[in-house]
Amino acid sequence: MPAPINVALPGREYDVRYSDSFADLTDVAREARAADFALIDANVDRFYGRDFRRSLPGVKFLRIAAGETSKSFISLERIANELVRGGATRQSRLFAIGGGVVGDLTGFLAGVFMRGIDFIQLPTTLLAMVDSSVGGKTAVNIKAGKNLVGVFHQPRAVIVMPRLLKTLPARELGCGLAESIKTALIADASLVHLLERQAYDHKTRDIAFLADLSAACIRIKADVVVKDEKEQSVRAFLNFGHTLAHAIEARTGYRSVLHGEAVAVGMRFAALLSRRLGHLSAEAELRIENLLKKYALPNSFADLKTAKKPGLWSNSALIKLMRADKTNQQGTIRFGTLAALGEARLPQPVSEQELLASLKEFQTLA
Ligand code: GLY
């Protein structure tokens, strides 16, 4: 198992620890100072609920329905009431057992419940392991958009159990691979090479490889978060590929296309834009395309598994959504690009004319 990774935020530092045994969790449960609660994804509960309950004795478990709709104010209020009824105090801790939805919801609840309590992330998807469980971004969705209401609230610990990935649905695993590729592309050329060389077999699922890959990504993320917790500068690197991805998710109602799949297409587009703006070589762009293909990730709108409604990927609709992205400033559309494989550039304004020309070229790849 990989060694622990320290997220060295002054005054709020914590470790991301690896474990291959449920029994290791019992020590965490023993540290209880008050009634502790676990919010567990309903699908994870079906597979591993008994194991988690046995290893976290005394912790009260609350089931969270799988899917984005759980990341809402309605669930937040319902769970907050259950916590109070269950005897929660300011000393209580919350365990988030699930993927990004449960992690973001639990983190936000921990950030605001009784004005802030501790929480521990137990990510069960590759995407949550490599990205969302580390760094303290928490949020719920509102009608106006995804993740629009939230707080930065760092967990007290993150415990990663790579063995849980054995039962993760293939598309979910793909989402984690997409975010891992993103992490490599923005910061680590040697990790890009490793992903290119790795003889990865989707069917057998090399858990040792996935554990090492996640640790490499978490080390990069920890470093970025320590440099820029509140996303004033380099944390924006982590949004590579996300500008178009958010528009894709909005166009498909946050349902048929998974976040990581949208990010894969968003990265392919950002690679094309990087080349068109003269930052990235055509050879590097092709390597990104091949890397996405190698890990069976979508490269174009046509690859996305969604009902093909007329006008779904219309350039004007996508540009309108990209203009509304929360990472923009003063009405401009900002795009993170790459200077090379393993080297990100900070988001820069891109003219709508260039964006339109790039989208037109991208549409021809389909
Ligand atoms: N998922 C991007 C970030 O944590 O900043």
Supply the pLDDT for residue 328.
79
Q: Specify the pLDDT at position 235.
A: 97
For the CA of 231, the nearest atom of ligand 1 = 5
Same domain, 57 and 99: yes
Out of 121, 132, 325, give the residue to mutate to test ligand 1, the one with the largest number of ligand atoms within 8 Å of its CB: 132
Residue 135 Cβ contacting ligand 1 at under 6 Å: yes
Query: Are residues 158 and 123 in contact, defined by beta-carbon separation less than 8 angstroms?
Result: yes
pLDDT value for 143: 87
> By the 8 A CB rule, do 260 and 178 touch?
yes
Report the DSSP pairing between strands 37-41 and 60-64. Answer: parallel
Compute CA 296 distance to the chain's CA centroid, rounded to the nearest angstrom.
18
- The atom number, within ligand 1, closest to the CA of 236 reads 5
Question: Residue 8: helix, strand or coil by DSSP?
Answer: coil
Q: Which domain range does residue 214 map to? A: 170-363
The reported pLDDT for the residue numbered 74 is 97
Structurally, how many domains does the chain consist of? 2
One domain for residues 208 and 239 = yes
Residue whose CB lies within 8 A of the most ligand 1 atoms, among 221, 227, 325, 327, for a mutation test: 221
In this structure, are 163 and 56 located in the same domain?
A: yes
**Contact by Cβ (8 Å): 66, 101:** yes
Closest Cα to residue 241, out of 212, 261, 216?
261
Cβ of 131 closer than 6 Å to ligand 1, yes or no, is yes
User: Based on the domain organization, do 202 and 152 belong to the same domain?
Assistant: no
**Beta carbons within 10 angstroms of residue 208's beta carbon:** 10
Name the pTM for this structure: 0.96
Work out the widest C-alpha separation in the chain, in whole angstroms.
59
My answer on whether 258 and 359 are in the same domain is: yes
- Residue 319: which CATH number? 1.20.1090.10
Among 134, 151, 167, residue at a domain's last position: 167
Ligand 1 atom at minimum distance from 239 CA: 2
Same domain, 140 and 101: yes
The closest-lying atom of ligand 1 relative to the alpha carbon of residue 132 is 1
Q: How much distance in Å is there from the Cα of 238 to the middle of ligand 1? A: 6
Phi-psi region for residue 241, left (φ > 0), alpha (ψ -120 to 50) or beta? left
Domain boundary, last residue among 120, 144, 167 = 167
Read off the CATH number of the domain in which 46 is found. 3.40.50.1970
Which residues on adjacent β-strands are paired with residue 140?
149
**Closest alpha carbon to 271 in 283, 260, 256:** 283
Quickly list DSSP for 29-66. Answer: HHT-SS--EEEEEHHHHHHHHHHHHHHSTTPEEEEE-S
Same domain, 190 and 328: yes
Q: Which residue has a Cα nearest atom 2 of ligand 1?
A: 238
> How far is ligand 1, taken at its centre, from the CA of residue 172, in Å?
18
pLDDT along the chain (366 residues), means of 10: 97 97 92 95 98 96 96 97 98 98 98 98 98 98 91 98 96 97 98 94 89 98 98 96 95 93 98 98 98 96 91 95 82 92 96 96 88
Say yes or no: CB of residue 235 within 6 Å of ligand 1. yes
Ligand 1 nearest atom to the CA of residue 179, by list position: 1
pLDDT of residue 144: 85
Same domain for 184 and 80: no
Domain match, 158 and 192 both: no
